[in-house]
Amino acid sequence: TKAAQWLILQIKSGITYDNNYNPVVRIDRQTLTSTEQQYLVKGYAELVDKDLVRRVKRSHYMINPNALIPPNYEEAIKVWNEVGVANP
């Protein structure tokens, strides 16, 4: 859906591919429009069902490292597994 695509793009655009690559991205709800907040809620629900996105902690999200393979895959998969089942 459009909401899921929006969330994937937000996470991807927040990933830093510099020396400090970090697959966990903060999305601040307070800076989002009401439409973007709805996209976040709906997109997250859809992507969690598909196990493509997980909330690491409040306002911090990451894409499944098996779907978007990062340069430091082992570190990213460790974070993904530590989070366990997606947080609602």
Please write the tens of the pLDDT for every residue from 15-49.
876 656 788 899 999 999 999 999 999 999 999 99
Res. 86 pLDDT band, cuts 50 70 90: low
**SS3 for 12?**
helix
46 vs 77: CA distance, rounded Å = 21
Q: How far is CA 44 from the centre of its chain?
A: 8
**Does 5 score more than 60 pLDDT?**
yes
30 vs 68: CA distance, rounded Å = 27
45 vs 53: CA distance, rounded Å = 9
55 strand-pairing partners: 61
Percent of the chain with pLDDT over 70: 91
What is the model's pTM?
A: 0.84
